[in-house]
Amino acid sequence: MRKKFTLACLLLVVLICSLSFTGCKKNKVELDPTKAGSDKEIYQKARKRMKRDPEKARLLFKEIMHLFPDSIYARRSKIGIADSYFKQKDSASLIMAATEYQEYVNLYPHSPDAVYAKFQIALCYFRQRKKPGRDQTNTHQAVKALESMIKQYPDTKEAEDAKKKIAIAREILAMHYFGIGVSNFRMKAYQGAVTRFKQVIDEYPEFSKQDKLFFFTGRSYYGMRDLDSAISFFQKIISSFPKSKYVGAAKKMITKISELKVKWEKNPPPMMRFQKKDEADKKDEKKEEEKK
């Protein structure tokens, strides 16, 4: 009886060990890097996890690069790691994403995914853009990166998308510098205001608020008592933006300046008398130099 019991116990132990060994072997087969298709399976698993858990996806991508360094999925995993940072959206993650995308472009410049990576680098800066009135470093970097991408890959869908992003970024920059000009105008720092307004006119001719820009430029010149320059900007509003809400105010300013010029012709203010004397002195000096 005791022998039968001992034999039964031995058989049970052998069976348990056999089952355990089989189970272990089965799990090992699923994770074995030598088995074809396991790199693809891990990659697909990582992509599925991207939306709900980008950090976990990143770990899986890194596992592929470690276990299958020569696989095509290792190269794709490099993009996957960058995408996992990009999905997290915070500034620190976007900086990491830009670094990973740039490394991919450096490693695989002729890869079909290089276009995507280059565009994503620009988007990392674009997503960190600030509203007008705040620091615009990232907006400038976004424009630079987008323009570089278009130059390198002009005939792509990403290039078309980049052009739209550039338009948005440039409008923000124009609003930023225009806002600085308006602040200077309100503080009666008219020369500083004109400098900023001219920057917008020269560098951002597509600015959507050109009529408002011209009006404040004219008002700033008026504040500086440069009446001719002021009139020219008010006239631009009337001729170029006939339906603008600033047309009425521009016409009133032109009338006001015209009346002021007539008044000053009869009785110039001290400042104008000094300017006229200075101009006359310069003409006399020029004549003397010509005689010599």
Predicted confidence (pLDDT) per residue in 132-181, tens digit: 999 999 999 999 999 999 999 999 999 999 999 999 999 999 999 999 99
pLDDT-derived band at 42, boundaries 50, 70, 90: very high
Residues contacting 258, CB < 8 A, separation 6+: 231
pLDDT one-digit tens code per residue, 112-131: 899 999 999 999 999 999 99
Indicate the domain borders of the chain. 41-112
How far, in Å, CA of 39 to CA of 63, rounded?
A: 9
SS3 286: helix
Give the Å distances, CA to CA, from 123 to 77, 143, 162.
20, 10, 9
pTM score of the predicted model? 0.76
Q: Cα torsion at 61, 67, 73, 78 (round to 10°)?
A: 40
Residue 257's pLDDT is 93
Residue 268 in this model has a pLDDT that exceeds 60: yes
How far, in Å, CA of 265 to CA of 18, rounded?
A: 113
Fold assignment, 41-112: 1.25.40
**What does the angle CA 288 – CA 290 – CA 291 come to, to the nearest 5 degrees?**
65
